Amino acid sequence: MQKPISITAISSISPLGKSFEESWKSYQNNAHCITKKGFLGKDVLVAEIPKNAKEEVDILRQSDNKYKSLDNTVLYAIYASRQAIKQANWKNLDNFGINIGSSRGATKLFETYHEDFLKNNKAQTLSSPTTTLGNISSWVAHDLQTQGPEISHSITCSTALHAMLNGIAWINSGMSNAFLVGGSEAPLTPFTIAQMQALKIYAKKEDDFPCRALDLDKAKNTMVLGEGASMACLESGIQEHALAIIKGFGYATEILKHNISISSDAKCFQKSMIMALGDINPDDIDIIVMHAPGTIKGDISEFKAIQAIFKNDVPSITSNKWKIGHTFGASGALNIELAVLMLQHQKFIGVPYLENPKTPRKIENILVNAVGFGGNAVSILLSKNAS
């Protein structure tokens, strides 16, 4: 890394609530946000944003005629971005960059428009402009009135952390001093749910904890889909009001054997974590926020990668997917939010059903992981300070 970069604000709208503060309050209890929702005549386990958050999104939708035709993916991004920019106090900054990604994009609108096309053999006028992936960052840029660069992309479930990589690159290049980065996802739709079920990775049975992320002894896959958006404000240098410092970053891609493959010891994660650590002693890492989607192979392979790097002294590990489900392209940003919350409050948020979990003696350095279809892993090292 050429220069230190500060995270000066982070905010989200998710099953945890509609703000950074609500997220922290939600993490204080061991209750999950997963509920049942009817799809095609069947009940499916999902993690929706709460009622008060839905009301805020509806107010946003009705606030401008142009917003009424936008997908929730875009509205979630706008809502979370407004909060983050307000926290960072960028009201007089009009040239910051934006990079917001999504795994699936305008999921609900795309499915709705396609269903209508199959019935009527004619596409509606807004079916293209409201479902293109680029309309996430462009609508956020319109809403915030920034003149800086705007980027949208999809790198599946590591999308948000790739957005952070892009923000870091732009700042390090000197082409921008500030970047808004994150991910947004609204995938709770019939076809998307059916896709996950076809992969045989979706949770079928509800118990005390439907998604068993980090349970390495589970006999069945337990992934549950969630929705939400999370945004972080990045600024060049060490800022006095920084919530966390990005001390390292890493990325790697695996050689695929099939479309959703990952090696048994997640070599992509091994490479991304080593790169993120740089010259830092692995013993100095206090917590790892794992990607851990709740699938058998996904959880075990990532843990084996951690063991390969940290040997017999694995740091405290945690995940938030048992609580909020897997939010696809937004999941990495929500992992960053969890890490920043733990740094700020100096409190470890663990996984309640793990027996004898290791708790950290201190919370100074946290490694955050994400990976998506295609074996594209990203690791971000966050610290309380730059030293």
Cβ atoms of 180 and 75 within 8 Å: the answer is no
Q: Is the pLDDT of residue 229 over 60?
A: yes
Query: Residue 374: is its pLDDT beyond 80?
Result: no
Six token digits for residue 4: 């230190």
**Percent with pLDDT over 70 in the chain:** 97
Q: What is the band of 259 on the pLDDT scale with cuts at 50, 70, 90?
A: very low
Residue 225: φ, ψ to 5°: -85, 145
Q: Concatenate the DSSP letters of all residues of 80-136 into one string.
A: HHHHHHHHHT-TT----EEEEE-SSSSHHHHHHHHHHHHHHS---GGGTTTTSTTHH
Residue 373 has pLDDT above 90, yes or no: no
Asked whether residue 144 is assigned to any structural domain, the reply reads yes
The half-sphere exposure of 149 on its side-chain side, counting CA atoms within 13 A, is 15
Average pLDDT over residues 131-137: 92
Read off the pLDDT of each residue in 320-346 and give the average, rounded to a whole number.
98
Question: Same structural domain for residues 281 and 219?
Answer: no
CATH number of the structural domain spanning residue 124: 3.40.47.10
Domain-embedded: residue 241: no
> What domain range is 322 assigned to?
247-383
Could you tell me the CA-to-CA distances from 264 to 282, 328, 367 in Å, in that order?
Answer: 22, 21, 21
Residues 334 and 271 placed together within one structural domain of the fold: yes
What's residue 158's pLDDT?
Answer: 97
Q: How many domains does the chain have?
A: 2
Percent above pLDDT 90 for the chain = 88
Domain boundary among 202, 236, 270: 236
> Which amino acid, 175?
M
Instruction: Identify whether residues 40 and 117 lie together within a single domain.
Output: yes
The answer on 311 and 216 residing in a single domain is no
Please tell me whether residues 130 and 223 are part of one structural domain.
yes
Does residue 242 form part of some domain?
no
Q: Which of 213, 236, 259 is the last residue of a domain?
A: 236
Q: State the pLDDT confidence band at 387, using cuts at 50, 70 and 90.
A: low
**Distance from the Cα of residue 81 to its chain's centroid:** 14
**Model pLDDT for residues 150-178, shown as the tens digit of each residue:** 999 999 999 999 999 999 999 999 999 99
pLDDT at 384 over 50: yes
- Asked if residues 13 and 21 have their Cβ atoms less than 8 Å apart, the reply is no
Q: Which of 236, 257, 285 marks a domain boundary?
A: 236
Based on the fold, state whether residues 123 and 264 are members of the same structural domain.
no
Q: Are strands 365-370 and 287-289 parallel, antiparallel or unpaired?
A: parallel
pLDDT tens sequence across 176-215: 999 999 999 999 999 999 999 999 999 988 789 999 999 9
